[in-house]
Chains A and B, each alone.
Chain A
């Protein structure tokens, strides 16, 4: 799929053009060596033949001479930016480099400059889908459809393009037109695709908020819909939105019949029945009935715990919690954890469980006793009573020292007591009871990483990875996209770096150190700084490892822009696009970006240029034993095969501010102007970046966004605004044109009108003291 035919239409029939076309043919047949030879003879005769430069570039690219390839592609563009073949080759080239926006630009240019090769529209539309250029997408899909109207996938993809561009009527019309054309001509094998397309069209109608029409359409397509579940869910939704609750409730009852373990259906049924407003007595009756219908399902027994009070709640707890404890259900605590936040309910549950536990004989009913102990220890931990939790779990382990779950809980308790090393040790004892338990293996690895024992942690998890030709599974973990391992190791290296830096600062000022000879001082300095560079480099390396994986997630969508059209799975495709639009908001990615932000901002402020370059070279000069030790260490921490920079030393040399900005921007874009509370740190970091880049207006936008997201409660807002005000007061040092500063000043007035009235001090006092700011000001004193 990576290489497309570039049909060259003869314009001039000179000899060179013939040779060029020959070369093009050879390239398309993947005969790169012959093609290259030929294209070089053309260039020898005509050193201005733009197409040949481009062709040579793309051939070199596929022969893995990436640097030369880029030069030739650019030369081709320079000499013939309006040549359709040059444009097309450039499009293919940038697509292969995963630079999709650039690829889209050149594919479009090829068509604009007179290429009659309509297949380019297909490639262009894939690029436009990937970069989210939906307006352009409608045009290219439509063009391609007109070129080849014989395939349903082209109609579907055009419909999707209109839908994505919010042209619902056009989208629907496109899909309908095909249905009319195909009426009566579909085979049995087409029926799945047909069903998906019909249901997809129905969701488009739903998106116009014309639910009556959507519902009517749903009835029309009932017999052709294979996805009965999806069909019912849509029906329930439309009926609810049309306030036809009685009918909706019947739909939800039939959905419950299909799957009585889906919590959402119970809530939807209640919404349809309006029982939530009718109060607990009615609801209790409803669930009693449902529990009789579905005796094996958890939700009808659990949900009443969320709304019952007093003696009803006590009775329900008896039925639910104690019944589970009696059966020895390990997950009893987790099952009720969600209601433990309600302190009255928590008290009742704890009281009943404790009474039950105290009535047990640990030798007569060992299973009930052990799981009740486990429940009460979990509860004590949840309530923050660590000593209580610790005593209970110790008693439980003395009773049944072979139960893995107990060690997991004990390790968690010790973690909360603050001893990460001891917690890891306990987790490992549990792990040794069952070496094939993947869960506790992961837990033990994670606890080692939390205890900064990175090598131990990786060695532990490596028992479950593919380690061929490697000392551990680190490469496999990167390949398998095990983000949690990678980000936890990054944090561990970061902590090691911080601890070592603090210790180093102390050493430098200590009397012992000052007393040393200059030579000895230099030796210690070099060694420590090398170690610090390794920790920092590895922290960056791992964090960038997560970034790389998320780039893969984003790029993995590429194939589906054409695949889903062929399969006709339009609804799943739309879901995928939604996922893609928020994948960077995944917590583990936000954590990665936040860690990177802290590091890069620190590095930007410290700015220690040039010197590091020498150090990288010096590290390589080790000899003998030291060299061998280093080699072994590098084998242990190498994350990718053939990595030229396993220690991340190169990463330390890049411009920190620019590097971070490039990573931060797409995350900020995914949040947009939404009021997602997860975005707090992202906006805060945006402010810090823009201030350092002297882009004050953008910095202020971030403050304003932070204000919106936190309802003006974030403690840093006050200091940020005053920081910007101080910049405006000193235009000479600000580095920004005065006109911009004027705009910033005005905007501060608009966003924070109270600042003028209150004055700086009172304005600042309006925000709670920020931990970080407080720490900084304390250190300054």
Chain B
């Protein structure tokens, strides 16, 4: 097989259903219809991953701005990963890495120096994976982040990678 096993592609209105399916199957969080509609505008910050031409993973991020409300800024301070999922059967095959690497490159291209993600405290594999990728766990946990999803310990770590 000459073609690449893993490839990335843009999100288009025609394959929005794929993003919905992957997120709803893999993630505890559910996203609104508006969120999905807005994803179409996210440009390079949203990507689908194909494994042997089957869509199996997706990432969606957005730029975040300084939380200092007194001085609203138009300069983004970081890229925040809103959703990031790979179908279980296709994990540990480099699909997630490909998606993340692409996002890191895109972040660098925008001269943004911080990549941020929330990870559920109980998801030790997830935390370990992010650490392996160079993310650093912040000391304070975000209490009750996953409350709405009804997880038993709803706290989340904030993981950050400097680019």
Contact = CB atoms under 8 A, between A and B. Distances in A.
Q: Which of A370, A400, A436 has the most CB of B within 10 A?
A: A400
A346 B128 CA distance: 48
B56 interface: yes
A316 to B, nearest CB: 24
Interface stretch (B13-21, B38-46, B119-127, B139-147): B13-21
B13 A400 contact: no
Contact of A402 (B52, B87, B88, B93): B87
Contacts of B16: 435
B17 A433 contact: yes
Interface string A189-233: 000000000000000000000000000000000000000000000
Given A400-B87, A401-B25, A328 B52 contact: yes
B54 A402 contact: yes
Nearest to B52: A367
Given A362-B89, A366-B90, A367-B51, A400 B56 contact: yes
A7 B157 CA distance: 96
B78 interface: no
B82 to A, nearest CB: 19
Interface of B is mostly: helix
B55 interface: yes
Contacts of B87: 399-402
Contacts of B1: 327
A327 B5 CA distance: 12
A436 B14 contact: yes
Given A362-B89, A401-B87, A402-B87, A435 B14 contact: yes
A435 B51 contact: no
A432 B16 CA distance: 8
Contacts of B21: 401-402, 433
Interface string B1-36: 100000000000111111001100100000000000
Given A400-B54, A402-B55, A434 B18 contact: yes
Interface residues of B, number: 22
A399 B88 CA distance: 8
A433 B21 CA distance: 8
Contacts of A327: 1
Nearest to A431: B17
Given A328-B52, A366-B51, A367-B52, A402 B89 contact: no
A434 B56 contact: no
A282 interface: no
Nearest to A369: B89
A402 B22 contact: yes
A346 B52 CA distance: 29
Interface string A397-415: 0011111000000000000
A367 B90 CA distance: 9
A399 B89 contact: yes
A367 B52 CA distance: 7
B14 A367 contact: no
Given A363-B88, A366-B90, A403-B54, A435 B13 contact: yes
Contacts of A400: 54, 56, 87, 89-90
Nearest to A399: B89
A528 B56 CA distance: 51
Given A328-B52, A367-B52, A402-B56, A433 B18 contact: yes
Contacts of A328: 52
Interface string B52-74: 10111000000000000000000
Contacts of A399: 87, 89
B22 to A, nearest CB: 6
Contacts of A401: 21-22, 25, 87
A432 B17 contact: yes
A633 B55 CA distance: 40
A367 B54 contact: yes
B98 to A, nearest CB: 16
A363 B89 contact: yes
Interface string A421-442: 0000000000011111000000
Contacts of A402: 18, 21-22, 54-56, 87
B60 to A, nearest CB: 16
Contacts of A369: 89
Nearest to B92: A363
Interface in A414-465: 432-436
B81 to A, nearest CB: 20
Contacts of B55: 402, 433
A411 to B, nearest CB: 16
A424 B114 CA distance: 47
B148 to A, nearest CB: 23
B153 to A, nearest CB: 26
A400 B92 CA distance: 15
Contacts of B89: 362-363, 366, 369-370, 399-400
A243 B144 CA distance: 88
A328 B52 CA distance: 9
Contact of B15 (A366, A367, A370, A434): A434
A435 B17 CA distance: 8
Nearest to B1: A327
Contacts of B52: 328, 367
Nearest to A368: B52
A403 B90 CA distance: 13
Nearest to A432: B17
A433 B92 CA distance: 24
Interface string A329-373: 000000000000000000000000000000000110011011000
A369 B54 CA distance: 13
B4 to A, nearest CB: 14
Nearest to A366: B89
Contacts of B22: 401-402
B96 to A, nearest CB: 14
A366 B6 CA distance: 13
Contacts of A366: 51, 56, 89-90, 93
30 contacts: A328-B52, A362-B89, A363-B88, A363-B91, A366-B51, A366-B89, A366-B90, A366-B93, A367-B51, A367-B52, A367-B54, A370-B54, A399-B89, A400-B56, A400-B89, A401-B21, A401-B22, A402-B21, A402-B54, A402-B87, A403-B54, A433-B15, A433-B17, A433-B18, A433-B21, A434-B18, A435-B13, A435-B14, A435-B16, A435-B17
The 5 closest A-B pairs by CB, nearest first: A432-B17, A435-B14, A436-B14, A366-B89, A402-B55
Given A399-B87, A433-B17, 12 more contacts: A327-B1, A367-B51, A367-B54, A369-B89, A370-B89, A402-B22, A402-B56, A434-B14, A434-B15, A434-B17, A435-B14, A435-B15
